[in-house]
Amino acid sequence: MTIARPRELELQRAAIQLFRERGFHATSMQDLAEALGMHRGSLYHYIAAKDDLLWTIVSEALEHLDAHVRPELDGPGRGVDRVRRAITAHLRFAADQRDELSLLQIELRSLPPERRRALVERRDAYERGWREALAAGVADGSFRPIDVRLAGFMILSTCNWFTQWYRPDGPLSVEELAETLAGLLVDGLRAPTAVTAPTAGPVTPADATVAPHGPVPPDATLPPDAALTPTSHRTNKEPDR
């Protein structure tokens, strides 16, 4: 469903708010109709089912997130600089689209199987972009040898949970928070300044898994919904920043 008409935009905004507050399954078509001051039957002029609303919300959220962050991951510069810029871009977008990204994280499993698989494929492609940028940093010497899968999981988990505790009226601006969090995440992965860039060939995400105690065993895989679907509950609120 393509949101274009004003009434459809109102319906989408109402759905975002109700799905975030009550949960997808606990929100009925009657709830949506009442939020818009409509009869329930009138909703079917705009959507065929409640699933369509959720699909539109989370699909567009991921599309727009990728459009904001991908240019930084694939851009010029050392891996460390690309990752730092990407963290900032992700957090800026997350601050502006908190509810939409929260639904992407929390309600992904509420989608019908076919749509869920399609979204997981796109989410995995987004996460691969982070691993590739991290691997580039290992190759150019700006990152120490790291397990890029775990590093990517750490970064995205932090960026995604930002939507749960960030408050626009808090004491720090988005830019200040982004700079601080990017520094904390990136500085822990940096190579010592005395280490020069390796002269070997490019490091791929599969190759860049040299942790202090050796590579992660093949059976030590991350959950299939790793970074963009953390375990979370609406009642778990972090303190204001």
Write down the domain spans for the chain.
1-48, 50-241
Average pLDDT score over the chain = 82
Q: What are the angstrom distances between the C-alpha of 83 and each of 76, 78, 119, 133, 155?
A: 11, 9, 23, 6, 9
- Enclosing H/E stretch for 70: helix 50-73
Q: What predicted TM-score, i.e. pTM, was given to this entire model?
A: 0.75
Which amino acid is it at 83?
Answer: V
Q: Rounded distance, CA 102 to CA 108, Å?
A: 10
pLDDT in tens, 38-49: 888 888 888 888
pLDDT in tens, 130-166: 999 999 999 999 999 999 999 999 999 999 999 989 9
Q: Kindly report the CATH class assigned to 50-241.
A: mainly alpha
Q: Rounded distance, CA 43 to CA 45, Å?
A: 5
pLDDT in tens, 175-233: 999 999 999 999 989 888 734 444 344 444 444 333 333 333 334 334 444 445 443 43
Question: Reduced to 3 states, what is the DSSP secondary structure of residue 147?
Answer: strand
Q: Is the dihedral of CA 176, 240, 231, 116 positive or negative?
A: negative
Confidence of residue 4 (pLDDT cuts 50, 70, 90): low
CATH 3.30.750.80 fits 1-48, yes or no: no
